[in-house]
Amino acid sequence: MKRTVGDRMAALRGAVKRWLQRSALPAVVVIAGLAFLGQFYSWRFDLTDDHRYTLSPFTLRTIGRAHQPIYVTCYLGGTLPLEFARLRSGVQDLLQEYQYASRYRVEFKFQNPNGEADPRVREAFRGKLIERGVRPLTVQVQSAQGSAEETLIFPALSIGYAGRAVTLNILEPNASLSSDDIIDQSLQTLEYGITAAIDQLLAEHFPRVAILQGHGELPPMHCVGLAQALSKRFAVERRVFPQRVGDLDSFRIVICADPTQPFSEREKLTIDQYLMRGGRLMLLQSAVGVEMDSLMKGESTVALPRSTNLEDLLFRYGVRLNSVVIQDAQCALIPVNTALANQPARFTPRPWLYYPLLTPEAGSSITRGVNVVYSRFPSPIDLVGDYDSLRAVPLLRSSASSRVLETPRVVSLAEVATPPPSWQLQQGGKLVGVLLDGRLPSGFTNRPLAAIAPGEHFDFMPSSKPTRIAIFADGSIARNELVLRQGQSTPTPLGYDRYTQHTFGNAELRANVALARDGQDALLALRNRTIASRRLDLPRLAGRRTAFLLINVALPPLLLIIGGCIYAWRRKVRYARRPKSNS
């Protein structure tokens, strides 16, 4: 007997019912067991290509060292423009990963600095944030009435632990990038910034760093920005240059910022043996000297080669500083009096090719994401060593639109009015900063040490332990300016240009180089994190606007109508009464 469709459906329903009856109890037991285990264990799976929701092993080890709650406050609360809302969403996603990985020892909240109704309370709170080092941004937002108005946004975090707190600015302005690219760059370095801040709060003691004095280096007031940039991770001390070998060994890092006077052979021996014993050095030396006071008064000056007697030692290590000066079309602005004769002074910002904005190397974890670096009269560096035990890591270059000029040469502000033609500025990027990593040969092998350092007794080392030297052919990179406020000279932040009111990447670069020489490679590796940006192709959207509107607006209801018609037709065919045959 042939079974009808109804019989087959009834048999299927019966089979399903019997299977459910047999499987109900095991299913309930399994679900209850998973619910019970879920109270103690949890699982998260990151299926993204770039693993944006996966914290690095170094980050996991860092937050695992915390024995007390870590409090994070993000000041991106309230209504924000679209790009800043994307930044806030990225911050929230990452902080949730920190919270989960720390077993909720990391607690975070979002706060709106503009949310206070009382203007006086709001301004007082904003002032406190600025005093803590938060850098606000002025943006336009749409008010409730639909009009555009300017407001301040504070893209920063406050991270607290055990009664201490640090401020982290999560957005670094960069004139060479679009706003979307700046947001992407900020999200890529966000884990590095948060982990570095937590690691700083958890540190029980800081390594010692010496800023040397005694050879015409930058005065203390012009090194305040450098000291502040390093003080977050190091115990910074100013030290007169010692005369005995071994006196620098207690310092993890030694910094020599823009020396102008020559070093004696005995002092060079002290530096050499400090490096041979594994010490780390940051040398910022201008190979060309320029009298800036005369230049700023509108007079001419002469750029002269400058020697500190370190040239032979650096050459032995594989580096040569050339006594020439770089001109670059990618440069800073200086105020120039453009008023006519017998008229009141009128200062206009003009490009000054002797102040290049140096580009950090994108391939290095030290310089990745760092803003361009402000410099004055830099010189190019040649790598002359060929040592298998030594690796040279480029850090800074001029742009491709640059050239070198021989010295001595006359330098005058009148050159602003007669810039060189573009075809003369096509010598390619020049290396200005480099990091040497590995084992160095001593510069005093086979030399009469008793005559160089009479009366000293030490174990001479002809080759070094693993060490690192950062060399920059411009001492002004570490120099902060002074401004007159309330009758007193006040130092500006390192890399701050008072004419454009823009802060360049000098401070961040100095801090990263110090971390690299301190051996913090695992922390710096977080700067190499890459998060793919999947933004819409705006030109393509504009060109195919009608097609995309039809696909997104008309196609869904059309597919629904077609599906409904097909379903109705099939029901009509299946259940229509068929006429009985006469036979």
Tell me the per-residue pLDDT of 237-260, one tens digit each, with 9 for 90 and over.
998 888 788 889 999 999 999 999
Element at 471 (helix H, strand E): strand 467-472
Q: Give the domain-ending residue among 137, 166, 200.
A: 200
Q: What percent of the chain is predicted at pLDDT more than 90? A: 29
Q: Which of 200, 225, 240 is the last residue of a domain?
A: 200
**Same domain as 212, residue 128:** no
Decide if 453 is inside a domain. Answer: yes
Q: What is the pLDDT of residue 50?
A: 64
Rg (CA), the chain: 33
pLDDT, one tens digit per residue, over 363-376 is: 778 888 788 999 99
| Average pLDDT of the residues in 134-139 | 84
Q: How far apart are alpha carbons 202 and 255 in whole angstroms? A: 25
Does residue 331 register a pLDDT over 70? yes
> Which pairing describes strands 70-74 and 106-110: parallel, antiparallel, or unpaired?
parallel
Mean pLDDT on 531-545: 71
pLDDT tens-digit map of 458-491: 888 999 899 999 999 999 999 988 887 777 888 8
Q: How does pLDDT run across 150-192, given as a tens digit for each residue?
A: 788 899 999 999 888 999 988 877 666 777 778 888 888 888 8
Distance (Å, whole) CA 135 – CA 127: 11
- Which among 333, 424, 328, 421 is positioned nearest to 380, based on CA atoms? 328
pLDDT at position 450:
85
Q: Which of 314, 260, 256 is nearest to 281 (CA)?
A: 256
Task: Check whether 270 has a pLDDT greater than 70.
Answer: yes
Averaged confidence pLDDT in the chain? 84
Residues 417, 471: one domain?
yes
Contact present, 153 and 137 (Cβ < 8 Å): yes
How would residue 73 be classed by pLDDT, with cut points 50, 70 and 90? very high
At 581, is the pLDDT very low, low, confident or very high (cuts 50, 70, 90)?
A: low
**Are 464 and 490 part of one and the same domain?**
yes
Q: Is residue 349 part of a domain?
A: yes
Q: What is the mean pLDDT of residues 89-97?
A: 91
- Is residue 124 pLDDT above 70, yes or no? yes
Statement: residue 14 has pLDDT above 80: no
Residue 312 and residue 165 share a domain: no
- Name residue 288's amino acid: V
Q: What is the mean pLDDT of residues 36-61?
A: 75
- The per-residue pLDDT for range 373-387, each reduced to its tens digit, is 999 999 999 998 777
What's the average model confidence in pLDDT over 543-547?
A: 80
pLDDT of residue 419: 87
Same domain? 150 vs 250: no
Residue 147: pLDDT band (50, 70, 90) is low
* Phi/psi of residue 355, nearest 5 degrees: -110, 70
Model pLDDT, residue 482: 82
Per the domain annotation, does 578 fall within a domain? no
534 domain-assigned: no
- Same-domain status, 188 and 237: no
Confidence category of residue 538, pLDDT binned at 50, 70, 90: low
The reply to whether 543 falls in a domain is: no
Total domains present in the chain: 2
* Domain end marker among 166, 200, 234: 200
Q: At residue 522, does pLDDT exceed 70? A: yes
pLDDT of residue 150: 77
Whether residues 231 and 159 share a domain: the answer is no
154 touches 71 (CB < 8 A): no
What pLDDT is attached to residue 579? 59
For residues 269-295, average pLDDT: 89
Are residues 430 and 309 part of one domain? yes
Is pLDDT at 7 greater than 80 in this prediction?
no
Question: Which residues partner with 185 through β-bridges?
Answer: none
For 193, other C-beta atoms within 10 Å of its C-beta total 18
Output 146 or 65, whichever has higher pLDDT. 65
Q: Assign 81 a pLDDT band (cuts: 50, 70, 90).
A: confident
Most confident of 221-230, 361-370, 395-404: 395-404
- Residue 580 in any domain: the answer is no
Residue 558: count other Cβ atoms within 10 Å of its Cβ: 11
Strands (E), 361-417: 373-374, 381-383, 390-397, 402-406, 409-411
Same domain, 95 and 154: yes
User: Same domain, yes or no, for 196 and 225?
Assistant: no
Whole-number pLDDT of residue 313: 93
Residue 157 sits in a domain whose CATH number is 3.40.30
More confident residue, 516 or 317: 317
Of 353-362, 392-401, 501-510, minimum mean pLDDT range: 501-510
Which structural domain range is residue 136 located in?
57-200
Angle between helices 179-188 and 190-202 (to 10 degrees): 40
Predicted confidence band of residue 18 (pLDDT cuts 50, 70, 90)? confident
Q: Tell me, what amino acid is at 264? A: S
Domain presence at residue 554: no
